[in-house]
Amino acid sequence: MTTPDGDLPEDIESRIDPGSYDMELTQRHVALEFVFGDRPFYTVAQMHAALGSGVSPDTVRSRLDELEERNVLKSEQANNGNIYWLLSEDSDWPLPPDVEVEPEQDKMTVVEWRQQLHVQVAALSVLTAIIGTAITLIGTFQAGGYYQLPINTNNLLAYGLSAGLLSYFGLFLAGVLWFIELPSVDDIRQILQSR
């Protein structure tokens, strides 16, 4: 029987049964093949071939099932049998040995960025500026006599300029909020609960 050499990770070593030394195939032999083997998953036949022909396929199947019961392996039915792979925190599915799992991102995503208070205030301020500019232009063209709307020209210009001033105030407020970086609502809750 051919078994890769090496030490198992501590979390796997603590979950397997060391077995007796007179056993042909121990859980450790199978676990070593999963950790150091070339494949991300094995069928019973593939594991039997990887370990050599010194044991029966039924013995291999028994060890695979035992490791699944001990939460070392996971399995899924495929065709007329099962495929087995090493249980990992990083994925519910088999991880190829040549793939590195990306670490958790510490950079902010676009969705997280858009949910910040200062970004939302700034976006609303820009929208208000656009609407105010449109109202001011409509009032200017009405004052020039190009068309007549049911709203007084002076009122249109006042609404447009007021929206523009409001947008400047909103942009200033967004800058202040960004500068002082108000914590999120969840952060405030955690601060209050810790006291």
pLDDT digits (tens, 9 = 90+) for 30-39: 888 888 888 8
d(CA 146, CA 140): 9
pLDDT digits (tens, 9 = 90+) for 15-30: 888 776 667 788 888 8
Per-domain residue ranges for the chain? 10-86, 110-194
Name the pTM for this structure.
Answer: 0.48
pLDDT digits (tens, 9 = 90+) for 68-78: 898 888 888 88
Those residues whose C-beta lies under 8 Å from the C-beta of residue 149, and which sit 6 or more positions away, are 138, 142, 156
| Band of pLDDT at residue 91, cut at 50, 70 and 90 | low
* Nearest one of 77, 111, 95 to 34, comparing CA atoms: 95
Beta-ladder partners of 83: 76
Architecture of domain 10-86: Orthogonal Bundle (1.10)
76 against 103, higher pLDDT: 76
In the predicted structure, residue 146 carries a pLDDT above the cut 70: yes
